[in-house]
Chain A
Amino acid sequence: MSTQAKPLHSVGVPMKRKEDPRFIQGKGNYVDDLSFPGMLYLSLVRSTYPHAEIKNIDISEAMKVPGVKAVITGKDLEAAGLGWLPTFHGFDKQMVLAIGKVLFQYQEVAAVFAETRAAAVDGAEAVQVDYAPLPVVADPFTSKTDAVLLRPDREAKTNHIFHWEVGDKEGTARAMASSPKRIKQRIWFQRCHPAPLEPCGCVAYFDTMGRLQFHVTSQAPHVYRTALSLVTGIPEDKIHVMSPDLGGGFGNKVPVYPGYVCAIVGALKIGRPVKWIETRTENLTSTGFARDYHMDVEIGATEDGKVTALHVATTADHGAFDAAADPSKYPAGIFGIVTGSYTFPVAHAEVDAYFTNKAPGGIAYRCSFRVTEASFAIERGMDILADELGMDAVELRKKNFIRKDQFPYPSALGFTYDSGDYHKTLDVALEKIGYTALLKEQAAKRARGELMGIGFSTFTEVVGAGPSKHFDILGIKMFDSAEIRIHPTGSGIVRTGAKSQGQGHETTWAQVVAEELGLDPQNIMVEEGDTDTAPYGLGTYASRSTPVAGAAIVMAARRIREKARKIAAHLLEVGEADVEWTDYKFQVKGVPSKTVTMKEVAFAAYTNMAQNEPGLEATYYYDPPNMTYPNGAYVAVVDVDRDTGETKVRRFVAVDDCGVIINPMVVEGQIHGGLTEGFAMAFIQEIQYDAEGNNLNTNFTDYLVPTSLETPHWETANTVTPSPHHPMGAKGVGESPNVGSPAAFVNAVIDALSPLGVRHLDMPLTRDKVWRAIRDAETRT
């Protein structure tokens, strides 16, 4: 038997991405690139009012527009039993097209189908809708009063959607009352939008067998198939969902949107393929927004800075429908991670959510279900506490960190943190940024009246939903799956229930399979997004791909290895017990000269398998025993111009610990991107509504995405504390920078302003807001 020339280390290698050649040559396959004979275009008529009764919809002029084939309204859908769509959250439903009234500006009111994109838009323009305006509820605090009931369709005649709480309410109140030091701060994490560069869209048609072929921008294609079957009554085997290349998702492509349902209805009604591609304005104004949590954060501590209690009471603005897409037992997501990286002996968190006349959502934007809000609350809160105590923010954090020897650590709010070395991770960051020198520089600048801030965020994420006993969406447990087939010549294909949107699965999954089986990652094909071929999975969001689907791949590969061992024993002419897997090949125990490679075994599995079952493939459904807890220490250095309020992020160091790293190049890329999104939320992004419910940030000229000019230079590093329960020791990482970084930016700006007595400002920290804070502070003194 031959031996391999060299070991095939695949995991940990910064392998160039296998998907890139098509993207750099314009050969990507995004949903708007698809075209089918006879395809119609769908354009949606949207509400101009935030809250209004619909008196009449006149489609007669629209039907006269050349090329318009059909117009449907909410009444048509209601008659067909398709008026409402259940939200993934499971507690609410959403109008597909407005029925009786509209509840937010840009709500879907009618659907126009036409021969061309332009004719569909012309048709939509020609639909006449008569509205009778109703009083608008533009914020959750007004909503709370129930003076205007927004959702009479619901059984409960109140705008209050839910109350959720976790922890020891009385114990926390007692501990707080007896704490010698206390801080309390209202912190608003503003409404943001994931804004992937590719908007949402789909193409729907029924094939000659009457089967729905549905190409759609979905981060969770299998869940879509099940949801569509439940909504439309089409048997699930008659639905084929395909999610092609996605131009980013960030949580925005998790929910099912009204446009999708309209496209399917149109395809069925007219008997032709229908394409719906939303515009950027439609994306920003009607699809899943994120955050909008008003958090009252209260921390108790001893005189010397040991935390004693945490209480967070949140008022959440969910918009017109509760479309938060959280796991069904977690209406406020995994907000319970709000105790962060610290040893709070007792804590209590509660969230009350309300309807308003705003777009529905509250989705997990690059975030494991409300973890970004929670992380921001605690990391901001710790800085405010440091200020109250007159203590260095680093010293306070170190004093309260969960120590390395305390893992697995049971948190006061019920999580079991798997692993971490927070002190070490922070020390790496301090060393890299040169903290001591920065403090000296800051002192000198302060003496001169200059504003310079150093901000920290030492966050803990919780990702990889999740254990089936806790997590489900629409009742479907949040496992994930992988199927691996090894071909006779030693190449193979892996399919998973995850769905890359830019994360690089075609590369990293190949690396995982190659590592486990000693094969060449270049010859492991990865396929995702096709519900006919991929095993059932819950999709890619909440940084769950590597923790769940990645684990499934490892376990499936190990199943293949177990089968291969039998064939290897046959080839090596020894008993199975005498064969060991070592150095990426099978070897007779104690006889390094007698080996057989996986490639040879693969060939034998089809040509010379003896009494063994032919073939070499395996499937694994992985139900994670716990979540993974990636963490990091971020430091921002910000200069603030005292005269203009201009902020400049001079340096940013991000040290992440995501356990074992599959591809360091991909991980670094994810960190860069997430930090940039965090930077955007901290400084420039907000979906604002005025008091009349008008959306003020409806396109990229108002809802700003940082360009190459203002985006800071990122300095990254890693510590590696493997997850003890993940089969490869890996944790999720894509969301850490988005979750962790906003607090570092804001803490830096507030640190810069602290000599003026500024203790807190809500994001985004625009020039104008910072300038006003400086002016107000200077006026006070």
Chain B
Amino acid sequence: MKVHVKVNGVAYERDVEPRTLLAYFLREDCGLTGTHVGCDTSSCGCCVVVMDGARAVKSCAMFAVQADGHEILTVEGLAEGGKLHALQQGFWDQHGLQCGYCTPGMLLTSYALLKHQANPGEADIREGLAGNLCRCTGYQNIVKAVQQAAGTLGQPVAANT
């Protein structure tokens, strides 16, 4: 089947098997390997991308054909003009990653989170990231990374709980 998907602003037209998952479409048909696959049950969130600007989706739980006509943002599209996105900077500054495998999904989920809630507190971020697993960091520095990007790092937690 033919699908037309705009990924990171670039239009891709590809002929895919109907059963092709969006994750593998991005990785293998578009060559964007920053989107990872870590499980078979849509549990881990390594594959999260953003659809149509603000909706975080697990790309392993969507067929490529379902993305036909939509815009997808992947980790490769976060930095603009050679400048890291505030979330990328936050993850780097706050040691929000170790092996890096969950990081793209964490970044994209956080991106959508901030689109919906500009000033999330720790509790909001923890809730927002509950669909993304990390085996290395224990989440604490990931939360700080998102807070840095949102400009809420160091603000009292009580204000948000």
| Chief secondary structure at chain A's binding surface | loop
B146 to chain A, nearest CB (A): 10
Give A701 to B44 CA distance when docked, in angstroms. Answer: 10
Assess A26 versus B133: contact at CB under 8 Å? Given A199-B38, A669-B95, A672-B140.
no
Q: Are B99 and A26 in contact (CB under 8 A)?
A: no
Give A21 to B92 CA distance when docked, in angstroms. Answer: 7
- Chain B residues positioned under 8 Å from A21 (CB to CB): 84, 92
Task: Let me know if B17 is at the binding interface, CB within 8 A.
Answer: yes
Q: Are B24 and A117 in contact (CB under 8 A)?
A: yes
The 8 A CB mask of A191-218 against B (1 = contact, 0 = none) is: 0000111110000000000000000000
Residues 89-141 of B at the A interface (beta carbon under 8 Å):
91-93, 95, 97-104, 107, 125-127, 129-141
Assess A28 versus B102: contact at CB under 8 Å? Given A118-B19, A708-B143.
no
| Chief secondary structure at chain B's binding surface | loop
Q: Are A675 and B133 in contact (CB under 8 A)?
A: no
Least CB separation from A282: chain B residue: B40
- Chain A residues positioned under 8 Å from B88 (CB to CB): 24-25
Task: Let me know if B41 is at the binding interface, CB within 8 A.
Answer: yes
Task: Let me know if A628 is at the binding interface, CB within 8 A.
Answer: no
B46 to chain A, nearest CB (A): 6
Task: Let me know if A247 is at the binding interface, CB within 8 A.
Answer: yes
Give A311 to B59 CA distance when docked, in angstroms. Answer: 53
Residues 721-778 of A at the B interface (beta carbon under 8 Å):
none
The 8 A CB mask of A1-28 against B (1 = contact, 0 = none) is: 0000000000000001101111111111
Give A19 to B98 CA distance when docked, in angstroms. Answer: 9
Least CB separation from A713: chain B residue: B140
- Chain A residues positioned under 8 Å from B141 (CB to CB): 669, 672
Q: Are A709 and B130 in contact (CB under 8 A)?
A: yes
Give A278 to B69 CA distance when docked, in angstroms. Answer: 32
Q: Are B126 and A708 in contact (CB under 8 A)?
A: yes
Q: Are B38 and A197 in contact (CB under 8 A)?
A: yes
The 8 A CB mask of A448-491 against B (1 = contact, 0 = none) is: 00000000000000000000000000000000000000000000
Task: Let me know if B11 is at the binding interface, CB within 8 A.
Answer: no
Q: Are B74 and A673 in contact (CB under 8 A)?
A: no
Task: Let me know if A705 is at the binding interface, CB within 8 A.
Answer: yes
The size of the chain A interface, using a CB distance under 8 A, is: 55
- Chain B residues positioned under 8 Å from A196 (CB to CB): 99, 101, 135
Q: Are A26 and B39 in contact (CB under 8 A)?
A: no
- Chain B residues positioned under 8 Å from A248 (CB to CB): 98-99, 101, 135-136
A474 to chain B, nearest CB (A): 27
- Chain A residues positioned under 8 Å from B103 (CB to CB): 23-24
Least CB separation from B133: chain A residue: A705
Q: Are B101 and A700 in contact (CB under 8 A)?
A: no
The 8 A CB mask of A29-40 against B (1 = contact, 0 = none) is: 010110100000
Give A19 to B136 CA distance when docked, in angstroms. Answer: 15
Interface of A toward B, CB cutoff 8 Å: 16-17, 19-28, 30, 32-33, 35, 117-118, 195-199, 245-248, 250, 279-281, 501-504, 665-666, 668-670, 672-673, 675-677, 699-701, 705, 707-709, 711, 713-714
Q: List 9 A-B contacts (CB under 8 A).
A: A27-B34, A27-B76, A28-B101, A30-B101, A117-B24, A198-B36, A247-B38, A700-B133, A701-B41
* Given A247-B102, A714-B138, 17 other A-B residues pairs in contact with their CB atoms under 8 A: A20-B92, A23-B103, A25-B79, A26-B34, A28-B34, A30-B33, A30-B36, A33-B27, A35-B28, A247-B36, A672-B138, A672-B139, A673-B135, A676-B138, A700-B133, A708-B142, A713-B140
